[in-house]
Amino acid sequence: MANVGSDKPNIRQVATIAGVSHMTVSRVLNDHPNIKPDTKRRVLEAIEELDYRPNLVARALATQRTRRIGVIVESAVAHGPTSILRAVELSARATGYSVTPIALHEGDALSPQEAVDHLVTQGVDALCVIAPRSSSVAALRRIAITVPMLVVKADADPTFLTVSIDQHAGTTSVVDHLVALGHRDILHLSGPLDWLDARARERAFHTRAKSWGIRERPIVVGDWSADFAYDFAKGLTRLPDYTAIFAANDDMAMGLIHGLHDRGFEVPRDLSVVGFDDIPLARHFIPPLTTVRQDFGALGVAVVEMLRAAIEGRDIPALTRIPTELVARGSSAAPREVR
């Protein structure tokens, strides 16, 4: 613990103090077998004495591994992507990896190609893409990439590793919930269909609605924003035929509730509203929002596990599908006809 004033110690200084060669120190650091316990002890003492930390940059140069994962986040403002990024960071750190995020801002000049280039130039060992648009995925598909790439998306993909939130199950649970309450005519307010998550929720919605035999009704395509949903709800000329709206995220659900309120309709008396995400504020909407909770922590773990397997050449675990959970709150109730 001394080493005041001197520069950062390196492996050879440690070796000198321990009276061994620097390779022996390296072996101790990397837990190689066949080190005499006594030698190992002396090395560890020298490390302690100098408060030595291995230089990860030098190690990265020698091993050609940075132990860093590049994460491309689209729409870094949204709750989901942000939570996923944090979960990935946490889980990466727990296994000795670190994370370099890069945000693809909407309307920004940065293309997926450039983002990948940037991160590969940084030397990341693997890439993780969160919440992408299908156009981005198409662009990524065309890039000849030298590192493992994982996309967090609903469906498996032959080109990439994938981990997915079970959008299908989540959406199904929403439809089932509404049908159980007595709804037979439901509007889906989707996200932009260019987004894979929006598309997955929309497809699952149709599938489940059809299997219940309820009215086929065109969806409304939103842009994830509360503003859009507000304008839509505010613009309703009369109480619609449908009795419930399933919004593809909580922001839009919030905008709906607000717009319906301003239009003079009350949720859930006149219309039920359900969201997707379970943002922390969902409980405190007026009324509290029925929504779907996703286990981002589990997702982060799965992402890192799969990427590590790919990086380290181990067997790659099968596609992981993260479960969801319906959280029923006050914004959904029996439809007006039924009561």
Partner DNA sequence: ACCCCGGTTGTTCTCGGTAACATTCTCCGA
Partner DNA sequence: TCGGAGAATGTTACCGAGAACAACCGGGGT
Q: Where do contacts with a copy of itself occur on this chain (CB under 8 A)?
A: 8, 53-58, 60-61, 66, 68, 76-77, 82-83, 86, 89-90, 93, 98-103, 105, 118, 120-123, 146, 225-227, 230, 251, 254-255, 257-258, 261, 280-281, 283-286, 288
Closest CB 239 distance from a copy of itself, rounded Å: 19
**Eight-class DSSP state of 272:** E
Question: Which of a copy of itself, DNA, none does 129 bind, CB closer than 5 to 8 A by kind?
Answer: none
Structure tokens at 181: 């309450």
Other C-beta atoms within 10 Å of 67: how many?
18
Question: Which of a copy of itself, DNA, none does 203 bind, CB closer than 5 to 8 A by kind?
Answer: none
| Binding test (CB under 7 A) with DNA, winner from 20, 209, 271, 304 | 20
Nearer to DNA, 45 or 108 (CB): 45
Q: Cβ(51)–Cβ(1) under 8 Å?
A: yes
Task: Give dist(CA 243, CA 268) in Å, integer.
Answer: 9
Burial class (CB in 10 A: 0-12, 13-18, 19+), 118: middle
Task: Note whether 312 binds DNA by CB under 7 A.
Answer: no
Task: Note whether 211 binds DNA by CB under 7 A.
Answer: no
Beta strands in 46-136, from DSSP E residues, in sequence order: 68-74, 98-104, 126-130
Task: Give dist(CA 105, CA 32) in Å, integer.
Answer: 45
Q: Cβ(170)–Cβ(207) under 8 Å?
A: no
Quick note: the x/- pattern for DNA over 29-68, rule CB under 7 A, is xx--xxxx-xxx-----------xxxx--xx-xxxx----
Chain contacts with DNA (rule: CB under 7 A): 7-8, 10-12, 19-27, 29-30, 33-36, 38-40, 52-55, 58-59, 61-64
